[in-house]
Structure 1
Amino acid sequence: MTDTAAEPILSATILLLQDDPDLQVLMVKRHYQIDFAAGALVFPGGKANEEDGSDAWDDLADGDYSGAERVARIAAVREAYEESGIILARPKQARGEGAPVVGADMADTLDPFRAAVDRRDMSFVELIRDNDLVLALDTLVHFGHWITPSMMPKRFDTHFYLAPTPPQQLASHDGRETTDAVWLTPAEALDMAEAGKATIIFPTRMNLGKLDETPSVSDAVKRFSQESVVTVLPVVGKDKDGNPCLHIPAEAGYVQTIEPLEKIANVAKR
């Protein structure tokens, strides 16, 4: 009997950026009881849901996107809101690509509803509509696209986005899926992983390494807005010494193309 690979689930992850004064990215610590990347330091993100694909967003989102691309961007904005309290949105009466996004006052207004939206007890569409907002999907820069290897029992089709953090908005963890929220330079996060002070899974480490090549938010947005994204589907193989490893395509532009299997944590519960 031939095993069939699990179908990857559309997901989105967002790298919220700020300069303080060096480039920093927001990372959250996954709760130890979560069934994927438990206890790991990650970027806010998660699976797309049915409402992310609702036609109701036609009137409630800036940016010329459609299909899975729009669904993934909406999921990224929603997950950023649920897991960090950061909301990438504009007043509906002052909408338009490139227009200013809301600040701390609106983020504070929406903050009490984060848990309800996360639990699906409240509609994210209705929350945005009731507060006369539109999602600023155009502020997201497509940064990476990773698909979980076919041999894994749980697979994700994950789009990574960069976004400048709106001025004056403050990040805080949600206390349910995440237990901490910290701003780190990419180098600091990678050093923590190397020293064993943090668990950071392979795709996250690779995207931190890529982000570390830019010194500021403006440089990151400018560079990666102009670069194409190559899909990464790691495949199992061997290195030159015959040791089992994962291979990723060199054209994806990451700092390495091979990762020993012994370094891949089993982050998905079977």
Structure 2
Amino acid sequence: MPEPKDASTVLFIRDGAEGVEVYLIRRARQMAFAGGMTAYPGGGVDPRDSDAEFGWIGPDPGYWADAFSCDERRAKALVAAAVRETFEEAGILLATVGESPVSDTDNEEWETERLALLNREQSLSEMLNRRGMSVRADLIRPWAHWITPKAESKRYDTRFFLMKLPDGVEPREISTEHDHAEWVPAARAVEESDNGTRPMLPPTTATLTALTAFQTAEEAMVSAPPTRIVPIMPELVQQDGVNYVKLPDGTMIKPSIKIGPGRSVVN
């Protein structure tokens, strides 16, 4: 049984005419993992950020360690991964020089930095220190924690972060890992998941469903769990010849993709 790899993913949210909207991507069909599935921007942790010192604004690593059931070293790397992936996949940089946000990254200077991160030519902490920047941990909230079932050959220990985009800040569709991105009302996305028109992994459906309880993005941000989030690690089971993901509370979810060797259904 492989150990799950640490990963971070970020739900961008905003207010819309039909309630809270979420920025959803469709992973490119040629991707080895979850090709063609609806997801959020995110990816794996860079170990280089675990022990590095860099500027930090907002709840300290101890807060995130409590929320996500880990030590402070890992918590710092998880937040750094959320910031890095947000920049790599959507061009939004959750870091500032002092209190001044970087409002425009759509230029040659920042594209060079983004590609250097994407190609692992530099770590996020290296870029932050060189530019005298600080991570803005105050702009995100802990939202959920899912771990791939033990039976899977490819496993992830994924922490989900929530972010209400500041006015005037928009994600850019720049990642080669997805072929489509759009803002969708959370309730509509859940309905499309249920009727099979928008394939999703169970954690995506579950985290979207949780958002439908709120009228505004700010309500969702304020409601983010103030204490430890209970990790969810489902089981893969069969019932009447049909494969399901069974949650700890007994809920049975029929995945949108085939369960089988090398095809993880939870991330």
Fold match (TM-score > 0.5):
yes
- 1:134/1:207 Cα in 2 relative to 1: closer, same or farther (>3 Å)? same
Cα deviation digits, residues 48-69 of structure 1 (max 9, x gap)? 11223142xx332223102222
In the alignment of these two chains, the number of paired residues is 250
Q: Summarize the alignment of residues 234-249 of structure 1 with structure 2, pairs less than 5 Å apart.
A: 234-237=234-237, 244-249=243-248
Tell me how far apart the structure 2 counterparts of residues 196 and 236 of structure 1 sit (CA, whole Å).
Answer: 20
Q: Summarize the alignment of residues 167-206 of structure 1 with structure 2, pairs less than 5 Å apart.
A: 167-206=167-206
Cα deviation digits, residues 140-182 of structure 1 (max 9, x gap)? 2111111100111100000011111132122112241122221
Q: Does the 8 Å CA contact 1:145/1:232 hold for their aligned counterparts?
A: yes
Q: Identify the residue that residue 147 of structure 1 maps to in structure 2.
A: 147
Tell me how far apart the structure 2 counterparts of residues 247 and 196 of structure 1 sit (CA, whole Å).
Answer: 19
Q: Identify the residue that residue 77 of structure 2 maps to in structure 1.
A: 71
Deviation of 1:236 after TM superposition, in Å, equals 3.3
- 1:61/1:30 Cα in 2 relative to 1: closer, same or farther (>3 Å)? same
Q: Summarize the alignment of residues 16-55 of structure 1 with structure 2, pairs less than 5 Å apart.
A: 16-21=12-17, 22-55=19-52
Q: Summarize the alignment of residues 199-218 of structure 1 with structure 2, pairs less than 5 Å apart.
A: 199-218=199-218
Pair 1:131 & 2:131 matched: yes
- 1:180/1:130 Cα in 2 relative to 1: closer, same or farther (>3 Å)? farther
Tell me how far apart the structure 1 counterparts of residues 145 and 47 of structure 2 sit (CA, whole Å).
Answer: 21
Q: Which amino acid aligns with 2:78?
A: A
Query: Taking every aligned residue pair, what percent have the same amino acid on both sides?
Result: 26
Q: Does the 8 Å CA contact 2:96/2:102 hold for their aligned counterparts?
A: no
Q: Identify the residue that residue 59 of structure 1 maps to in structure 2.
A: 54
Which stretch shows the higher mean deviation, 104-113 or 64-73? 104-113
Tell me how far apart the structure 1 counterparts of residues 195 and 246 of structure 2 sit (CA, whole Å).
Answer: 24
What secondary structure sits across from 2:104 in the alignment? helix
What secondary structure sits across from 2:117 in the alignment? helix
Q: Does the 8 Å CA contact 1:14/1:44 hold for their aligned counterparts?
A: yes
Q: Identify the residue that residue 8 of structure 1 maps to in structure 2.
A: 4
Q: Does the 8 Å CA contact 2:16/2:185 hold for their aligned counterparts?
A: no
Q: Identify the residue that residue 81 of structure 1 maps to in structure 2.
A: 87
Normalized against structure 1, the TM-score is what? 0.82
Tell me how far apart the structure 1 counterparts of residues 166 and 237 of structure 2 sit (CA, whole Å).
Answer: 43
Tell me how far apart the structure 1 counterparts of residues 245 and 263 of structure 2 sit (CA, whole Å).
Answer: 20
Which stretch shows the higher mean deviation, 145-154 or 23-32? 23-32
Q: Does the 8 Å CA contact 2:46/2:123 hold for their aligned counterparts?
A: no
Q: Which amino acid aligns with 1:229?
A: I
Deviation of 1:264 after TM superposition, in Å, equals 4.6
- 1:112/1:19 Cα in 2 relative to 1: closer, same or farther (>3 Å)? farther
Tell me how far apart the structure 2 counterparts of residues 143 and 117 of structure 1 sit (CA, whole Å).
Answer: 25
What secondary structure sits across from 1:197 in the alignment? coil
Deviation of 1:242 after TM superposition, in Å, equals 8.2
Match of 1:265 among 258, 262, 266: 258
Tell me how far apart the structure 1 counterparts of residues 231 and 247 of structure 2 sit (CA, whole Å).
Answer: 9
Q: Does the 8 Å CA contact 2:234/2:245 hold for their aligned counterparts?
A: yes
Q: Does the 8 Å CA contact 1:86/1:107 hold for their aligned counterparts?
A: no
Tell me how far apart the structure 2 counterparts of residues 47 and 32 of structure 1 sit (CA, whole Å).
Answer: 19
Q: Does the 8 Å CA contact 1:187/1:212 hold for their aligned counterparts?
A: yes
- Calculate the aligned-residue CA RMSD, in Å: 2.5
Tell me how far apart the structure 2 counterparts of residues 192 and 113 of structure 1 sit (CA, whole Å).
Answer: 37
Q: Does the 8 Å CA contact 2:13/2:162 hold for their aligned counterparts?
A: yes
Q: Identify the residue that residue 121 of structure 1 maps to in structure 2.
A: 121
Tell me how far apart the structure 2 counterparts of residues 265 and 243 of structure 1 sit (CA, whole Å).
Answer: 10
Pair 1:165 & 2:160 matched: no
Deviation of 1:112 after TM superposition, in Å, equals 4.6
Q: Which amino acid aligns with 2:80?
A: I
Normalized against structure 2, the TM-score is what? 0.83
- 1:177/1:242 Cα in 2 relative to 1: closer, same or farther (>3 Å)? closer
What secondary structure sits across from 1:144 in the alignment? strand
